[in-house]
Amino acid sequence: MEGKEEDVKLGANKFPERQPIGTSAQTDKDYKEPPPAPLFEPGELKSWSFWRAGIAEFMATFLFLYITVLTVMGVSRAPNKCASVGVQGIAWAFGGTIFALVYCTAGVSGGHINPAVTFGLFLARKLSLTRSVFYIIMQSLGAMAGAGVVKGFQPKQYELLGGGANAVNHGYTKGDGLGAEIVGTFVLVYTVFSATDAKRNARDSHVPILAPLPIGFAVFLVHLATIPITGTGINPARSLGAAIIYNKGHAWDDHWIFWVGPFIGAALAALYHQIVIRAIPFKTRD
């Protein structure tokens, strides 16, 4: 027994718990803060990678709308909740699709698939204004195309079932809807910042591989919480595409909420991550 106790003590001394945690692990030895992206970068327009990234955003948002709008319509046409995937199924469709599409496009465009995500990363100076505007345009066009294809396949059902358009549901005020969109988008964009943090990537090699998983799971959780309130926007392109293709009164009544709310939530998430989590304004520069 004494010999075994000695082995345990030797092992404890040989392999002490010295792994730093949190910001103490983030030293300049393994990471250098990249310079902020320029506000305007005209040279991007001559690069094929720039246009390729925009096409990737278009295709990803197209597929996102196609799958999710069909899921929402399938639940809406069911005679009862037990005959469809229900609210949980809708949430899984949104979260799972984002997980798959972020995984597929992250290496090309960053896998934003959402103007609010693009806006938040722009505020953090992760990409230029030129690229941000281009991404938002391509995301919006992709969303319109995705909803348009669904309507083209089944126009009567699309009109009858609401086309997946967002609106503040009965029993809730515009303030309720706006608050739900702000908080929901904050959760999503904060998760995006945390999952794609370059400093964490430098320290933990598994982080880039796992990044799409927490992002998709955040989308799933937010949908569970806010589908009863607004149908869950947290993505202005998704709301715009469905509203334009459906083009009925209620789709436009509260449409401003699905732009203002996500952009405010994204801005708050960017500020929180950059100032509180990363403390970038307080770091000394050589």
Residue 165 lies in a domain: yes
How far apart are the C-alpha atoms of 212 and 99, rounded to whole Å?
A: 5
How far apart are the C-alpha atoms of 118 and 20, rounded to whole Å?
A: 32
Query: Phi, psi at residue 78, to the nearest 5°?
Result: -70, 140
pLDDT at 84: 77
pLDDT at 18: 43
**Are 138 and 55 spatial neighbours (Cβ–Cβ below 8 Å)?**
yes
Residue 13 lies in a domain: no
Residue 229 lies in a domain: yes
Residue 36 lies in a domain: no
Q: What is the CATH number of the domain that holds 144?
A: 1.20.1080.10
Residue 3 lies in a domain: no
Split into its structural domains, the chain has a count of: 1
pLDDT at 43: 84
pLDDT at 229: 96
Per-residue pLDDT tens, the chain, 286 aa: give them: 555 555 445 444 444 444 444 444 445 445 677 788 888 888 888 899 999 999 999 999 999 999 999 999 999 887 776 667 889 999 999 999 999 999 999 999 999 999 999 999 999 999 999 999 999 999 999 999 999 999 999 999 998 888 999 999 999 999 999 999 999 999 999 999 999 887 766 555 555 568 899 999 999 999 999 999 999 999 999 999 999 999 987 889 899 999 999 999 999 999 999 999 887 776 655 4
pLDDT at 243: 95
Residue 203 C-alpha from the chain's centroid = 23
pLDDT at 200: 67
At residue 253's C-alpha, the angle toward residues 251 and 254, to 5°, is 90
Residue 22 lies in a domain: no
- Residue 216 amino acid letter: G
- Residue 17 amino acid letter: E
- Residue 14 amino acid letter: K
Residue 5 lies in a domain: no
Identify the domain containing residue 121 by its residue range: 45-276
Residue 254 lies in a domain: yes
3-state DSSP assignment of residue 132 = helix
- Listed in sequence order, the residues at least 6 apart from 266 whose beta carbon sits closer than 8 Å to its beta carbon are 116, 117, 119, 120, 123, 185, 186, 189
User: What is the DSSP secondary structure assignment for residue 275, as one 8-state letter?
Assistant: I
